[in-house]
Amino acid sequence: MMFYGNDTIAAISTAVGEGGIGIIRISGDAAISVAEKVVKKRKGAGLGALQSHSMFLASVVDPVDGSQIDEALVSIMRAPYTYTREDVVEINCHGGVMALRKTLGAVLSAGARAAEAGEFTKRAFLNGRIDLTQAEAVIDTIRSKTDAALKAAVSQLEGGLSEKIRGVAEKVADVLTQVEAAVDFSDEDIETLPATVLFDLLNETNHAIEQLLTTAIRGRMIKEGVRTAIIGKPNVGKSSLLNALLRKERAIVTPIPGTTRDVIEETITIKGIPLVLQDTAGIREASDEVEKIGVRFAQEAIRSAEIVLFVVDGSRQITAEDTRLLHEVDGELLILVVNKSDLPPAWSAQELALPDRFKARVELSALSGDGIEVLEETVERMLLAGSLDAAGSAIVTNARHEQLLKHAQAGVNEAMELIKTGRPEEIIATVLRDALDNLGEITGETVGDDVLGRIFSQFCIGK
């Protein structure tokens, strides 16, 4: 096995600030000999004689003047069963800024180099312990803010996604082998699979990629949240709905139409998916300047929203203005919210010709809270519809992966077309090789230094 780099790197691996413990991680060929200059065991043999994956209590001393810096618990992990596959020493200091900085300083003056952002994980990747999707999952795991995000990240960390991608790549490679054989031995009478079989194999791959791509929608929702705009005429109860969903008095509610002017943004979580709610100004021909701007913001919110909650007042006759807005509003997921169900209804559902674009209608009272749960369940159903459950199956949460999967799919489709029209094998092989490269770039088998640099620079120092 070729090991990447052999200089020894070190960094503070825990968050900076006060904490119970803080960890300095050292990795590389000289990790143990560097540590030996800084940590002094209380008794017994030197570090070199210690068993791998053992811990001991030690004094941390400055190798330059011999002064004591801290008292620490030190763990020794020898290659290859470590995070980086190199020798790793971790010094568990007290979690104070001074103790950590001084210990790191001591380790650096003992011969280690300050690690770059993500360098430990980069080494784990370059030394072959994990593939690129797993390395990327490390940062997603750290950044997870919801249960669903964490589940998806950990499943990717454990190789769930890599396995799926490899499965697809293997099939493409099988077809490529057949196509190449047909090129190489075209004069000989060698048995290759008939074109129809190759076509079917590629078609299966196409479906497998498609399935992965459908999870990307949910992946993006999990990672970035779902933008949800609350829209409607003035005074229908948009701000009241925001407050009801948040279960707190966040936005100002008054009987005066035109109360909300700015966009008010708050996040709630439904089934582990963050919903970024935007309460907006009621849409109407506004007379004053401030409200006009508010109305423009509202219209922009609709455009960038994935879910639009279109609110009407069920206790008042539907106006031409409501109907006009109803037909104008567009969005990926449109839900009609008939508010004020605690008051006598002024119209029935039948009276309203709801455009097909609306996926559901919910009657509720933002004032009493009746029906709020129904709305939440409706949103939840929509978010889960068409996408697999987060647990167990691989989800594409990364835009880079999504992009590459799309390229690979385009290649597979092109190859199918070429096979169908009986084009020369050389051309088909080239297209398939490109598709295979795209898939390899996801797992990191065929990835350039620039891409690696971009990925690992997003990491924190010490990871």
Ligand X SMILES: Nc1nc2c(ncn2[C@@H]2O[C@H](COP(=O)(O)OP(=O)(O)OP(=O)(O)O)[C@@H](O)[C@H]2O)c(=O)[nH]1
For residue 186, give both structure tokens.
């075209």
Work out what residue 462 binds among ligand X, Mg ion, none; the CB cut-off runs from 5 to 8 Å by kind: none
CB distance 208 to 439 below 8 Å = no
For residue 98, give both structure tokens.
């001074």
The H or E element containing residue 179 is: helix 160-184
The Cα 219–Cα 390 span in angstroms is 9
The Cα 187–Cα 190 span in angstroms is 9
Between the CA of residue 460 and those of 1, 73, 119, 121, what are the distances in Å? 27, 24, 9, 10
The Cα 388–Cα 177 span in angstroms is 33
258 forms part of the interface with ligand X (CB under 6 A): yes
Closest to ligand X by CB, 126 vs 281, is: 281
> Judged by CB under 5 A, which of 33, 109, 141, 259 binds Mg ion?
259
For residue 157, give both structure tokens.
């960390």
DSSP 212-247: HHHHHHHHHHHHH-EEEEEEESTTSSHHHHHHHHHT
Closest approach of ligand X to the CB of residue 336, in Å = 15
CB distance 380 to 272 below 8 Å = no
Q: Which amino acid is present at 443?
A: T
Instruction: Tell me which residues in 222-251 interact with Mg ion (CB under 5 A).
Output: 238-239
The Cα 357–Cα 199 span in angstroms is 37
253 forms part of the interface with ligand X (CB under 6 A): yes
Closest approach of Mg ion to the CB of residue 364, in Å = 16
The Cα 403–Cα 126 span in angstroms is 23
Closest to ligand X by CB, 236 vs 277, is: 236
For residue 41, give both structure tokens.
């065991």
Q: Using CB under 5 A, which of the segments 7-15, 112-120, 259-267, 314-322 binds Mg ion?
A: 259-267
Closest to ligand X by CB, 10 vs 236, is: 236
Angle between helices 372-384 and 238-246 (to 10 degrees): 80
Closest approach of ligand X to the CB of residue 286, in Å = 10
278 forms part of the interface with ligand X (CB under 6 A): no
The Cα 103–Cα 93 span in angstroms is 8
Closest to Mg ion by CB, 150 vs 253, is: 253
Alpha helices (runs of H) in 264-391, residue ranges in sequence order: 289-304, 320-328, 372-384
Angle between helices 372-384 and 195-224 (to 10 degrees): 150
236 forms part of the interface with ligand X (CB under 6 A): yes
Closest to Mg ion by CB, 238 vs 463, is: 238
339 forms part of the interface with Mg ion (CB under 5 A): no
314 forms part of the interface with ligand X (CB under 6 A): no
Closest approach of ligand X to the CB of residue 345, in Å = 12
26: left (phi over 0), alpha (psi -120 to 50) or beta: beta
Q: Using CB under 6 A, which of the segments 144-152, 173-181, 211-219, 339-347 binds ligand X?
A: 339-347
Closest to ligand X by CB, 221 vs 281, is: 281
> Judged by CB under 6 A, which of 146, 240, 397, 438 binds ligand X?
240
Closest to Mg ion by CB, 239 vs 378, is: 239
Sheet holding 113-114, edge to edge: 39-41, 54-61, 68-77, 88-95, 19-27, 9-12, 113-114
Closest to ligand X by CB, 256 vs 353, is: 256
Under DSSP, is residue 231 helix (H, G, I), strand (E, B) or coil? Answer: strand
229 forms part of the interface with ligand X (CB under 6 A): no
Other beta carbons within 10 Å of 241: 26
What is the per-residue binding string for ligand X in 363-382, x denoting contact by CB under 6 A?
Answer: --xxx---------------
Closest approach of Mg ion to the CB of residue 281, in Å = 7
Closest approach of ligand X to the CB of residue 225, in Å = 22
> Judged by CB under 6 A, which of 36, 224, 300, 342 binds ligand X?
342
> Judged by CB under 6 A, which of 52, 196, 254, 319 binds ligand X?
254
Closest to ligand X by CB, 241 vs 382, is: 241
The number of residues that bind ligand X (CB under 6 A) is 24
Closest to Mg ion by CB, 175 vs 286, is: 286
The H or E element containing residue 308 is: strand 307-313
156 forms part of the interface with ligand X (CB under 6 A): no
> Judged by CB under 6 A, which of 259, 267, 299, 387 binds ligand X?
259
Closest approach of ligand X to the CB of residue 379, in Å = 18
CB distance 72 to 47 below 8 Å = no
Other beta carbons within 10 Å of 344: 8
The Cα 162–Cα 152 span in angstroms is 13
Work out what residue 255 binds among Mg ion, ligand X, none; the CB cut-off runs from 5 to 8 Å by kind: ligand X
Q: Using CB under 6 A, which of the segments 27-35, 161-169, 230-238, 427-435 binds ligand X?
A: 230-238
Closest residue to ligand X, Cβ-based? 282
Contact footprint for ligand X (CB under 6 A): 232, 234-240, 253-255, 257-260, 281-282, 339-340, 342-343, 365-367
Contact footprint for Mg ion (CB under 5 A): 238-239, 259-260
